């Protein structure tokens, strides 16, 4: 009996995995700065939010995504609300893609992700720059977008395994 309830708790923990990972990612802001890799950065929360909103919307609540955006702004030092807005737009874009897709394809998702992050980053940095006078190095933003786009395909495969393991292959 105890064994069963322990298994149940573990399963519940795994089901909350995406949201836990999102909060760890926003609060921890993985940066790999200590590796001193020039021009390397990517936005992990973008990948995470897009994938899970697209494939299993129930895993990430919009309210929690909004909250994680606020935390991310506080940690990174951006005007409060900018990240939340971009995260919510990503949810909107992925929800749109889900509504219009009859036969899901990984390549379609990937390219639509590229389009999404281009729009969302433009919006995010336009707000920061125009309304809050935050100066930005545009080449760094472009590199960040490029790496985020490239990493999507790797992380989406990893998330696919995780999803199939925790929720089962057919549970979409």
Partner 1 sequence: MQPSSRDDFIIAIRSAFLKKENKQKYSLSALILLTLAILILGKYDFKIINYSKISLKEIAYRSTFVFSTPENLIKKSFIATKNHFLVYEENKILKEKVKDLETINYNSEFILAENERLKDTLNELNFSSNEILAKVIVDKQSPFLKSIIVNKGSKHGAELGMAVLDKEYLVGKIVELNFTTSRVLLLSDLNSKIPVDILPNSIQSILSGTGKENGKIQYVKEEALIENENKVFTSGAGGIFKPGIPIGEIDKKQSNLDINVSFFSDFSQLRFVKLRSFSPEEN
Binding site for partner 1 (CB under 8 A): 23-24, 27-31, 33-35, 41, 57-58, 61-63, 66, 69-71, 74-82, 84-85, 88-89, 91-93, 95-96, 98-100, 127, 131-137, 140-141, 144
For partner 1, the closer of residues 105 and 133 by Cβ is 133
Q: Which is nearer to partner 1, 31 or 157 (CB)?
A: 31
C-beta closer to partner 1: residue 28 or 157: 28
Distant-in-sequence, close-in-space partners of 87: CB < 8 Å, separation ≥ 6:
45, 46, 49, 65, 66, 68, 69
Which C-beta is closer to partner 1: that of 6 or that of 11?
11
| Minimal distance, residue 158 CB to partner 1, in Å | 19
What's the closest the beta carbon of residue 152 comes to partner 1, in angstroms? 18
- Alpha-helical (H) ranges within the chain are 2-15, 17-28, 44-55, 62-76, 82-100, 106-132, 138-167
Q: In whole angstroms, give the CA distance from residue 69 to residue 71.
A: 5
Cα–Cα distance between 48 and 119 in angstroms, integer? 17
């Amino acid at each position: 009996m105890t064994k069963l309830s322990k298994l149940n708790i573990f399963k519940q923990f795994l089901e909350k995995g995406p949201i836990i990972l999102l909060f760890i990612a926003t609060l921890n802001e993985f940066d790999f700065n200590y590796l001193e890799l020039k021009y390397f950065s990517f936005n992990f929360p973008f990948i995470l939010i897009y994938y899970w909103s697209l494939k299993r919307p129930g895993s990430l609540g919009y309210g929690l995504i909004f909250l994680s955006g606020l935390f991310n702004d506080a940690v990174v030092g951006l005007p409060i609300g900018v990240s939340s807005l971009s995260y919510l737009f990503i949810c909107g874009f992925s929800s749109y893609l889900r509504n219009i897709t009859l036969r899901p394809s990984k390549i379609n998702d990937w390219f639509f992700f590229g389009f999404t992050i281009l729009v969302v980053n433009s919006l995010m940095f336009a707000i920061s720059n125009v309304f809050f006078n935050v100066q930005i190095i545009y080449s760094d933003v472009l590199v960040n977008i490029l790496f985020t786009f490239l990493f999507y395909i790797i992380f989406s495969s990893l998330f696919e395994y995780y999803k199939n393991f925790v929720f089962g292959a057919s549970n979409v």
